[in-house]
Amino acid sequence: MALTLAFKKLLDDAHWVCTKCGEKYGQHKCGVATWHKDKCDICKKEKSVTEFRDFGYSKFDTKTHFEI
């Protein structure tokens, strides 16, 4: 899948994602997560969302994510 630079940046910057976008663009299925109603940072729709880290971040991601 070829990504535009703008869409890659959108994925890299995404924090809140819905199930559909998380499963489509994340590295793995979501396990246990906390969900709330908000706007998905990828599809921009009002849905139940969780942190993108719950899907392993973007499968196209070149950044390394650390939590301290």
Q: What is the pLDDT of residues 15-64, one digit of tens each?
A: 999 999 999 999 999 989 999 999 999 999 999 999 999 999 888 765 55
Predicted confidence band at 2 (pLDDT cuts at 50, 70, 90)? low
From residue 31, give the alpha-carbon distance in Å to each of 3, 9, 12, 16, 35.
27, 25, 21, 15, 12
Q: Can you tell me the distance from the alpha carbon of 40 to that of 18, in angstroms, rounded to the nearest whole number? A: 6
Q: Strand 46-51 and strand 16-17: pairing? A: antiparallel
pLDDT given at position 4: 82
Q: Confirm whether pTM is higher than 0.95.
A: no
The span from the CA of 30 to the CA of 26, in Å, is 9
C-alpha distances out from residue 57 to 8, 15, 20, Å: 12, 9, 14
Residue 1 has pLDDT above 70, yes or no: no
